[in-house]
Amino acid sequence: MSGEHVRFEILINPSASSGRGMKVWREVKRILDSRKVSYRKHILKAPGAATELVKQLTCDLKEDCHLLVLGGDGTLNEVLNGIRDFKHTVLSCLQTGSGNDFAQNVGVEKKAERALESLLDHPMEAALDYGIVYADDHAPRRFLISCGAGYDADICEEVSRSRLKKLLNRFGLGKLVYVVVGIKQIFTRNDTSATLYLDDKPPIQMKRLFFVVGMEHMCEGGGVPFCPDADPADGKLDVCLVHTMSKLQLLMGVALVYFKKHQLLRNINCYRCKTMRLVTTKPQQLHLDGETPYQASEILWSSKGRLRFQK
């Protein structure tokens, strides 16, 4: 499959943002055809399809394979986990999902037409970090934006099942569901005691873990800047840890994080490390770029690189 040379292998998630994926594709097709750009389209029909397809496309490469993704952060996570040859694989994307955290973090134009024309006429390439996580006896998984355990993962899990998200997506307000569910989770989730290890530093003991997230980029969860100083090309993870706070303090933290002032509160701390390990007394929901595959009690994060990205 990788033997034929085309300029773009286009991966389309037709269900992204309640059908916006196909709408964007029609505009992309019009531009590519008018400019006689060679491409091959792939409609992703089921969860996991992107990973399996990318494994085929990036196997035994002798020249660059340029993947253009029309989908959200979950689709990009699947693509990342399918790449076999990072040296010859180039990744690009258009804002198509409901959150689009990755695309916004790296400065992809919001309008698909402008983003595509920039990619065609003035492509800029960067080498970006990605993370990898090992959890209990599960197979290792890569993440592009962030991987968290606890509160933010509980939000992602509930949002993935929410009918409200589909409704709000119709009006371009899909991000609001993260705020609504986030406030609800403060009052409903159960905390756990935990120990966090950052590189070779002394362990951090917590009676009540609220959440911890390792981030390659500044924002997750629909634009929430948990780690304002994150650099996706420094070879390290930025970490936001929240623990042992009252519900009122947590509500204040949720409000302050949108202004990047959450670290003013005690027990909300940011760190930077190459690896971190979390051990909890109760299994915690895990999310990778907003996808919630499982719960785990012992989790190891590590920053890896490099991913070739063009916009």
Identity (one letter) of the amino acid at 139? A
Distance CA 163, CA 171 (A): 14
Helix (H) or strand (E) holding 193: strand 192-198
Identity (one letter) of the amino acid at 82? G
The runs of H, that is alpha helices, within 90-240 are 101-105, 112-121, 151-160, 163-169, 176-188
pLDDT at position 200: 96
CB count, 10 Å around CB of 199?
Answer: 13
Helix (H) or strand (E) holding 285: strand 275-288
Identity (one letter) of the amino acid at 193? S
Residues of the chain with pLDDT under 50: 1-3
Give the angle 154-291-161 at the CA atoms, nearest 5°. 60
Identity (one letter) of the amino acid at 272? R
Chain centre to alpha carbon of residue 146: 5
Q: Specify the length of the chain in residues.
A: 311
Closest CA to 309 of 96, 142, 90, 130: 90
pLDDT at position 70: 96
Distance CA 287, CA 180 (A): 18
Q: What is the set of domains in the chain, with CATH numbers?
A: 8-123 (3.40.50.10330), 131-304 (2.60.200.40)
Cis amide bond preceding 189, omega within 30: no
Give the angle 122-75-215 at the CA atoms, nearest 5°. 80
Distance CA 293, CA 285 (A): 8
Contact 287, 156 (CB under 8 A): yes
pLDDT at position 2: 45
pLDDT at position 179: 79
Q: Burial letters for 65-75: b for 16+ Cβ neighbours within 10 Å, e otherwise?
A: bbbbbbbbbbb
pLDDT at position 168: 57
